[in-house]
Structure 1
Amino acid sequence: MSRLLIFGLGYTATRLADRLTQDGWYVTATRRTATETALAFDDEPAVRAEIAAATHILSSVPPADEQDPVLTRYGPALVRTRWLGYLSSTGVYGDAQGAWVDESAPIGTGRRNARAAADLRWQTLPQASIFRLPGIYGPGRSALDRVREGRAHRIDLRTQVFSRIHVDDIVSGVIAGMDGPPGVYNLADDLPSSQNAVIEAACDLLGLPWPELQSLDVADLSPMARGFYAENRRVANGKAKRVLDWSPAYPDYRAGLRALNATTSPAIASAEPTPA
């Protein structure tokens, strides 16, 4: 039986674990603290036992204190595993001023220097596949939810373009990567677009008005959200398509939002936005 150990059981990793469990895999995972479904990351004897038993290991753990926690603590024990995967970020490319970037583009020039360093460290492991991910959306985490809850913004940055991917397309990409050669792969949909276009499409699906267009200075955004608007790039996915025979089931935000909207109840309009 194939056995997967996941470091960091977050949103995307949980979706992957559910899919592989349904497919007959044995899946274990770690979290910061132990739960009914996961080991504590710091429980070294238990974690090392799972590493030794695993045929596949995936890390979704982000850098901390300028280091990769998984490689720092367990790196030497990973070398005997058949397949390794790491969920990285297309943020490692920095700002491309709206240009296309593929896996050959330089990294470490933007805000994600620690992430870029971790990405490079994972690349030194010969059996590792690194998946660089753009903005992730899916059930419970999409523009539809932000619009319903009154948290959506339309920012007056008319040339700003982002890439994104549905969480289930990440799952299919990682699974394809398990049977493909090691390397770096961008997993993104086929249509980079402005965030405003996504919000407008979500509003149209829900029958709700578009939020007022605001300047970045006026919009009440968190520092993380402001950083999101500081970079502008289009992420190319051709390598994953060619090498892994992968293609997104949701090739653009319209297809993804339509599918999500079809599985949720109609929105109830409210004059009071839900706090973030």
Structure 2
Amino acid sequence: SGQLSAFGYAITEEPEGADLWLINTCTVKNPSQSAMSTLISKCKTANKPLVVAGCVPQGSRDLKELEGISIIGVQQIDRVVEVVEETLKGHEVRLLSRKTLPSLDLPKVRKNKFIEILPINVGCLGACTYCKTKHARGHLGSYSIDSLVDRVKIVVSEGVREIWLSSEDTGAYGNFSIQIVIDLRSVTYHILPFYFASVILYFLGRDIGTNLPNLLNAIVAELPADRSTMLRIGMTNPPFILEHLNEIASVLRHPCVYTFLHVPVQSGSDAVLK
């Protein structure tokens, strides 16, 4: 909405009077997708131009509900004004290609003017069988510490009271994984008494040469000593928070950081949690 507002569009709470409906979607929970389908039906009944954005079109572009509708994926959000204008002209636009990380400095309209939601990375390292978000968001990509600290300085100067660090997995910040599949048919058949077709090896490294504790320490160094701006760490999965538990605990003791962690138990099955 920030980009559209900056371009002269007015955001309204009354859908009946709007020139176009823009639905931003999420795939984390089935009710979110059901709500999207309901809104699309209402929009078609109202005969309004429609753009559907976010995770659902990115991960499920062939859904029947999206036929004949302009859609824009998670990594093309900086082109939302272009998509809206073409849709208002009667054209159907579909922008779903993946590219570099979206800019942190895109215009925005905060729901709460005192809270800045700051993404530190996009995507994740998992392949959990129940999760559709990975299909939409893709593999992990992390913003640099410098770019995130620069954004923190800006929002502090704007009078923001809270900064919420967000991502699909904040603890994975700065990591990357490599999957190597080795074909053993030609090298082990005559050596081992039993036969494997292949083996998969996983290696964990750093995509930008750093980690979450380094980022957190750089951010808290920029927070006002009077606690006028507080920091909250968003969701992380157990493997990565355990890797840096002592360092994270130290950061949580900082007076400008909420002593809060969101570490969900997604499943008790190792087969499900890949």
- Normalising by structure 1, report the TM-score: 0.35
Higher relative contact order (CA 8 A, sep 6+): 1
Select the structure of larger CA radius of gyration.
2
More helix by share: 1
